[in-house]
């Protein structure tokens, strides 16, 4: 699955553990892990003993107040877009940016070409695009629109105040 970070295709060095895989696994694999946020909350002691970095994956159904309280502890937060019509991930990203989250903010799930630019404006700097949807044209989408009237994560001022 292609991963774009700062508009470049890179190799993904993180291991994403789904709830199903965590149930099947007796021990955590070595390396940097992305675990569901609910798993993190229930197994913090186990994850504190892990030698690699630990990031979390959240969606709109998770306890976001707890995420916003703990976000500085994570080097990576993956925000899930379960379906196209679910835009809560945009709000989660903007809230993390407003709270000065400095790590990698990764969009996962239903990530599509037509939303990459909007996701970047909300503060995402990494995009995990499903293999069947990815094309080289995705790399050019970030520069398709050169003027934005609304503010964004990097500059919240609307155009008339710049």
pLDDT digits (tens, 9 = 90+) for 52-90: 999 999 998 998 999 999 999 999 999 999 988 889 999
Tens digits of per-residue pLDDT, 100-131? 999 999 999 999 888 999 999 999 999 999 98
> E strand or H helix at 55, and its extent?
strand 54-58
CB atoms under 10 Å from CB of 58, counted, come to 25
Distance CA 15, CA 33 (A): 5
Q: Which domain holds residue 49?
A: 3-161
Number of domains the chain contains: 1
């Amino acid at each position: 699955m292609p991963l774009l970070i700062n508009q470049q295709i890179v190799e993904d060095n993180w291991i994403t553990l789904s709830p199903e895989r965590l149930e099947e696994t007796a021990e955590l694999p070595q390396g940097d892990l992305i675990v569901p946020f609910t798993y993190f909350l229930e197994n913090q002691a186990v994850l504190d003993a892990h030698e690699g970095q630990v990031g979390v994956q959240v969606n709109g159904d998770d306890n976001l107040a707890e995420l916003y309280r703990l976000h500085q502890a994570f080097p990576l937060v993956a925000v899930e877009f379960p379906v196209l019509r679910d835009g809560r991930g945009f709000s989660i990203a903007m809230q993390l940016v407003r709270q000065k989250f400095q790590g990698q903010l990764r969009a996962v799930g239903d990530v599509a070409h037509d939303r990459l630019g909007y996701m970047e404006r909300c503060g995402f700097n990494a995009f995990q695009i499903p293999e069947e949807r990815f094309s080289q044209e995705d790399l050019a989408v970030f520069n398709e629109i050169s003027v934005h009237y609304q503010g964004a994560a990097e500059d919240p001022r609307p155009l008339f105040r710049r």
